[in-house]
Structure 1
Amino acid sequence: MRSYDLSPLFRSTVGFDRLTRLMESALKTEDQGNAYPPYNIEKRGDDDYRITMAVAGFSQEEIDIVTQENALTVIGKSRKDDQAAPQTQYLHRGIAARAFERRFQLAEHIRVTGAALENGLLHIDLVREVPETAKPRHIPIANLGQASTALPTGQTAN
C-alpha cells in the first residue's frame, strides 16, 4: 500500500481545502482496491473529455448514469446470478460481473453530452461549457497622457 503526503503541494494555496480532500480521498480509494471497474479519462480537445469504463458483461439495462450538481455516478446492477440456471456449476469464474458504483467529481461547467456502450466499454462524453459571463474579458487601456492621439468617446479612427 502506497501513501502520499500532499501537504507540500498545498502550503501556498488558499481556499483549496475541498480540492485537497478530493485528491486525498481519490488516492485512498485506489489504494484500498476499490478500482472496479477500471476506467480511463481522455482529453479529446480543449473542452471535450471522455470517460471510458470497462463494463464487460453488463447490458444497457443494467447500467445507470446519474448526474447531480457536480457529480457523475455510474451504477452497474448485475442480474447475471439471478438469471443463471441453478444447475450451473463454474469450474473457474474469472469474469467480474459484480454490482458497482463509481463516482466522478466534475469540475464547474462540465456537462455530460452522451453515453454509448460498445464492445464492453462504456463511453461517457463530457464537454466544458463556460458561460460568457464567466469568461475573461480584455479591457482596453486608454492613454490619457497623450491627448492628441486619444479620440473622444463614441468616435472611431478611419
Structure 2
Amino acid sequence: MKKIEKLEVSWNGLLQVISKVVSQWNPPRLKSEISYRNNLLAVLREVLPADTQLEKEYRHRGTTIDIWLKWQGILQCDELAFELKVNLKKKTEFDRLVGQIEGLDPRRNKVLVVLIGETERDLLGRLEAKYVTQIKGDVAGDKYLAIVQVSIPEN
C-alpha cells in the first residue's frame, strides 16, 4: 500500500482515508482478534507518516480501544479509535460491540469499526441503523463513524 499523504487527509478527512486503507487490508487467516489487531497495526505503521501516534489497547474514558491513532495534520490534529470484531454472528457479540462503541462516544469522537471475517447481515443492518447519523454525517456534514468489512481467506 502507498504512504498516506497529509494533504490527502486534509482534503478527504482522516476517517475516510483510513477507512479506505483498512478496506484494502488483506490479512491472512489468523488465530485471534489480537493477532488481527497486531497485523492491522503493522500495516498502519507502514503507511502512516512517522509523526502519527499509534497505540494498541489504549485506555480512553474508562474503556480500552483496540487501536488508537493521533494524527498530526498540516492544519489540525485529529484522533481515531478502532474497534475490531472477528466473526460477528451472535446477538451477545453485537450487544458487546455496541457497548464498546458507546463507550467511545461516536457522537463526538471518530470511530472506525472493523468487522473481520463472517458478519451476520442482520446484525450489520442493526449496527448501520443505530449509527446512521454518525455514518452519513451530522447537520454540519461531519462523519464520526465508519464500518469496514474485511474478508479473510477460507484456509
What is the TM-score when the length of structure 1 is the normalising length? Answer: 0.23
Which has the higher relative contact order, 1 or 2, with Cα contacts under 8 A spaced 6 or more apart?
2
Q: Which structure is larger by alpha-carbon Rg, 1 or 2?
A: 1
What is the TM-score when the length of structure 2 is the normalising length? Answer: 0.24
